[in-house]
Structure formats: structure tokens, C-alpha cells
Amino acid sequence: MSRIFSLILCIPIFSGELMTQEIVQWRGPHRDGKYPTTGLMKSWPETGPTLLWHIDGLGQGHASAVVTEDKIYTAGTLEKTGYIFCFSPEGKLQWKVPYGPDWVESWPGTRSTPLYVDGKLYMMSAFGKLFCMNAANGKKLWEVDLFKDYDGRNIKWGVTENLLIDRDILFCAPGGKKNNVIALNRNTGELIWSGAGKSEVSAYCSPLLVKLPKRKLLVTQTANSILGIDAKDGTLLWSHPQTNRWSVHANTPYYRDGYLYCVSGYGKGGILLKLAADGSVKQEMWRNISIDNRMGGFVVLGDRIYGSDDSNEGWFCVDWKTGLDIGEVDMMGRGVVIYADGMLYCYNDSGEVILAEPTTSGYNKVSSFEVPYGEDHHWAHPVIADGKLFIRHGDALMVYDIQNR
């Protein structure tokens, strides 16, 4: 049976032949916070949905869960060492493998979520080490030092990127002056192309691949810019200014029907750009500062954008076409938002998980519960797979049954 949390890509090779890939990645099959699971509960008991199991001892960090057909992966930092963990669907530890030093300074812990592709895992540490491992046993297959090999530079809170794949190409942004954004062979780690971009340092951004009629466009953000890059050879097609106080642009961009939306925190807010059919021309349509979440993402449903505010901690609904505010609700602090089966799942900084109905004027809060395990910040993005809700909080992973039975 095909699992709902697996993305199967069918790519033409020549007439009559297809290549398929199983990809489990950051914020769902399309990196947009939407999960295709159906048959989920539309409200929860007062105490929340049933907790099936939880695991402690994952270390510091806010990596999300990676849920495949028969395994669950995540990452965390114990003392000064980063680890990848592998569990059975029932929560039994299968293996635990160190991948090297990771961040222990301000806001300590693993930053990125592993990427699963066809039996392999890909991960980047906060110190620019990018590696590939066998997903069955954790054995390293290759490793690249982005700082040493590609003049990458670290940033204030450690480089952070949820890696992006396209067939056998792996994209990432070392943030070097020469090797600003690069493409690697995902099977060998060898360089395919390198682009100088704007020669700015990276900005915690997890990129997006936009498939246009005439080319594939790689969109990412560096310290002061949104970049539109030809995914075939790394040519910088355009850039657009996007600055904020700390050069933090951690949210994945979103593309639909010729329009590109990017949003940053610290009061900068979101911007909608209009792209030409070949991705080489852009025009600024509007800017809105109500949704300016630092790293909690957003969800686009029809002509409405849902997300939280960094400064005032409200949750806003913004019109896609005009950029005007439609509605606002107080849900006790900024946070992360994802979507499945007609409902929004909002996980705020206070540790409350909220089930909300998206409405034409904003949000209708239906149910909520408090996360019972873990410590430190509630920054990990929840995951929905196989009728279950996966919540990571510091050293704990909790799995809830949200299937409507």
C-alpha cells in the first residue's frame, strides 16, 4: 500500500520509462506545510488526542521527525556531538549514530531535519558538514566540508538548511563569496555546479525548487537578498532585496501560478513577487508585515495566507492577491503552523498545540493540549503521517493518534 507520507516523484527518462523516487522532506511533500493525510479528527478530547508513545534522550535541538514506510528518523545534540536516531514505527530504537560536532552556543542543539531519499539520509550540521548515510544502518557514505571545500562561512546562530533534492542533484548554500550556492551529486557528493549568487552569507533558509515551463528555478534567501537561480547551471537570474536586523530568513519560499511569496521575521514581513514564465523577470506586487514569523512557516490555502506574527505574537490571515489583513486571533504566542485534512495545526512558543479551522476571516480555535514532555524551546515543526501527529520538543519526541475512528 502506498503510504500517504511518502512523495513518489515520476520523472520521464525516455519514452516508455519512468524514474521514481521516494522522498520524505522538510514540511511535507511540497515543502509548504501541507500533509496529504485524510480521515483525521476535527476536534480533540479536552486532554488532547491519545499519546501512543514518546521517546526521551534525543538531546538538544529542533529537528522534526522524518517518517518513512517503516522507520522514523530525527536528530539531536548530546553534549557537543550531533546524532541521527532511527526508530521503528512503535518507537523502539533501531540505531543511533554520531555525525560530528554540532551547535552548543546560544540556542544550542541540532538545527536541521534529515532528508530521506531512496534509502539514504542527508544532513547538514551547524558547522557546515554535509553528509550522506545509509538509512538502514546509519553508515556514512560520503561527507563534504562546505567551509573548507567551498569557502563557506558560518553565521551568528550556526548554518541551518533543510536540504533540497531534485532527482540526483542536491542543492545547498555554503554562503561563500565564490561558492555561494552549489549543486552536488547526491550519490557521490561531487560538485555539479557552483554559483556566486550575491556573495552574501547564508540566512538559515531552506530553499524551494520551482518547475516552470522553460526551466527549473531554485529560490533561496541569503543575508540581504531573495535569489532566483537557474537550477541547471547556477546562473543568477535575478535578486530582490530582503533585509532585516539579524539577516534571518528561515522560512521556505512558496510559489503558485506565477507568483512567489517570501516572508522573514524581525518586522520585515512578507513579499509577493510576480515571475515571468521563464522565471527571469519579477515584479513586486505587495508587502505585508503582519505575518513576519522568524522560522515557524506559513500555510497558503486558496487565496489566504495563515501564519503568526513575530513582534506582537498574533496569528494573522492575509489575502494572497492584495496583501491586506483579513483577520487576527490571539493564540498565546508565535509559533509553527502546518495543515492537513481541512484543519490547521498551530504549535506555539508556550508549548500548546492548537487545532484550528481555517475560515474566510481567519481562525476558529477548536481544540488544544499542552505538550507534556521535553525541554527548552518549542521550535520543531510538527509532522503528520499515517494518521499520527509527531511533536518534537527538545530531547523528546511524542506521537499522537489523530485518526478519526
Length of the chain: 405
Q: How far apart are CA 328 and CA 325, in angstroms?
A: 8
Taking 70 as the threshold, does the pLDDT of residue 10 lie above it? no
Taking 90 as the threshold, does the pLDDT of residue 196 lie above it? yes
**What pLDDT is recorded for position 69?**
93
- What secondary structure does DSSP assign to 192-228, as a single string? EEEE-TT-PPB-S---EEEE-SS-EEEEEEETTEEEE
CATH-assigned architecture of domain 31-62+295-405: Beta Barrel (2.40)
User: What is the DSSP secondary structure assignment for residue 113, as one 8-state letter?
Assistant: P
**What pLDDT is recorded for position 12?**
38
Percentage of residues of the chain with pLDDT beyond 90: 91
Average pLDDT over residues 112-116: 98
Taking 50 as the threshold, does the pLDDT of residue 265 lie above it? yes
Q: Residue 55's closest CA among 86, 11, 81? A: 86
* Residue, of 12 and 209, whose pLDDT is higher: 209
**What pLDDT is recorded for position 381?**
98
- What letter represents residue 318's amino acid? V
Strand-pairing partners, residue 61, are 110
Average pLDDT over residues 168-177: 98
Sorting pLDDT into bands at 50, 70 and 90, what band is 311?
confident
What string of H, E and C letters represents the secondary structure of 344-369? EEEEECCCEEEEEEEECCEEEEEEEE
Full-model pTM: 0.95
Average pLDDT over residues 241-256: 97
**What pLDDT is recorded for position 9?**
44
Sorting pLDDT into bands at 50, 70 and 90, what band is 405?
confident
Sorting pLDDT into bands at 50, 70 and 90, what band is 282?
confident
Taking 90 as the threshold, does the pLDDT of residue 204 lie above it? yes
* Grid cell at residue 138: 546509519
**What pLDDT is recorded for position 8?**
38
Sorting pLDDT into bands at 50, 70 and 90, what band is 19?
low
Q: How far apart are CA 405 and CA 58, in angstroms?
A: 31
Cβ neighbours for 92, distance < 8 A, ≥ 6 positions apart: none
Q: How far apart are CA 187 and CA 360, in angstroms?
A: 46
φ, ψ for residue 239, nearest 5 deg: -140, 155
Look at strands 269-275 and 259-264 and give their pairing: antiparallel
- Over the stretch 347-384, which tens digit does the pLDDT of each residue have? 999 999 999 999 999 999 999 999 999 999 999 999 99
